[in-house]
């Protein structure tokens, strides 16, 4: 997991390891202690770092569309 502050929100990118060696990406957006939105699985990526990065991309896009 990676956490950043973006546009006044806390955003998180997640990577869930899969049995085939890939990682499933997802993201979340929080304001204060409240979780505003979590993504469904975004996709599967060959590395942990790439999956986390894609989760953060999703979260930034959510903030841009809703802030």
Can you give the residue ranges of every domain in the chain? 2-66
Kindly report the average pLDDT of the chain as a whole number. 97
pLDDT band for position 67 (cuts 50, 70, 90): confident
Copy the structure tokens of residue 23: 């990682």
Answer whether 0.85 is exceeded by the pTM: yes
**pLDDT the model gives residue 29:** 98
Q: Specify the fold of 2-66.
A: Double Stranded RNA Binding Domain (3.30.160)
* Strands (DSSP E) found in 1-62: 2-6, 9-17, 23-31, 34-38, 43-45
Gap between the Cα atoms of 55 and 49, Å rounded = 10
Copy the structure tokens of residue 11: 């955003």
Query: Is the confidence at residue 44, as pLDDT, over 90?
Result: yes
């Amino acid at each position: 997991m990676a956490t950043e502050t973006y546009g006044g929100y806390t955003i998180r990118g997640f990577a869930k390891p899969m049995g085939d060696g890939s990682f499933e990406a997802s993201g979340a957006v929080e304001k204060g202690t409240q979780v505003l939105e979590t993504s469904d699985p975004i996709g599967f990526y060959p590395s942990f770092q790439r999956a986390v990065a894609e989760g953060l991309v999703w979260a930034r896009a959510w903030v841009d569309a809703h802030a």
